[in-house]
Amino acid sequence: MKILMVCMGNICRSPLAESYFKSLTAKAYPSVQIYSAGTHDYHDGSPADPRAIMLAKENNIDITNHKARYINKINLLMFDYIFSMDLNNLLFLSAHFIALKHRQYLLTSFSNKLEVVPDPYYGDINAFNQSFKVIKAGCRSLYEQLFILNK
């Protein structure tokens, strides 16, 4: 199974979602491949935001080697699921990759509380903490739906 996490620039939310979901699947499902990318090329090739790196480290996750990728540089056909952090990114994907619409979801689509992951880029560390809280809840629900309930 291949999963893609998507946000606008691929330096804050989607690298955190990618790394957190990898931490959930690594031991029990090592064949699951998880990636992240941005819908826009603002930060293509850049490292993760320092606040995201710090938050990841506080949660025993390492994203120091992350380099932002632009979605047009990867083959979306290889992904079974594509998860957007918010509605703007989901709408962007739906408009530009119509044939893959059946694979596109909000990160929280499988949780009891459908919500978007707020963009923390212009905020402080509290904004990053709030985003990561939603990311963790969305990833845990996703893990449960894909690997526990569907066994």
Structure tokens at 149: 């309930």
pLDDT of 123: 93
CB burial of residue 50 (10 Å; 0-12, 13-18, 19+): exposed
CA–CA gap between residue 7 and residue 22 (Å, rounded): 17
Integer angstrom CA distances of residue 66 from 51, 105, 150? 13, 23, 31
Concerning whether 140 is annotated as a catalytic residue, the answer is: no
pTM: 0.94
pLDDT of 74: 79
Q: Which CATH architecture has domain 2-148?
A: 3-Layer(aba) Sandwich (3.40)
Concerning whether 13 is annotated as a catalytic residue, the answer is: yes
pLDDT of 151: 60
Q: Could you tell me which of 80, 11, 5, 19 has the C-alpha nearest to residue 41?
A: 11
Structure tokens at 17: 């979602």
pLDDT of 143: 95
Catalytic residue among 12, 13, 86, 139: 13
Q: Could you tell me which of 136, 8, 151, 133 has the C-alpha nearest to residue 70?
A: 8
The residue extents of the domains of the chain are 2-148
Q: Walk along the chain (151 residues) and give the pLDDT tens digit of each residue.
A: 999 999 999 999 999 999 999 999 999 999 999 999 999 988 989 999 999 999 999 999 999 999 999 998 778 899 999 999 999 999 999 999 999 999 999 999 988 888 999 999 999 999 999 999 999 999 999 999 998 876 6
Concerning whether 7 is annotated as a catalytic residue, the answer is: yes
Catalytic residue among 44, 49, 86, 119: 119
Catalytic residue among 7, 12, 44, 49: 7
Handedness of CA 111, 107, 132, 29 (dihedral sign): positive
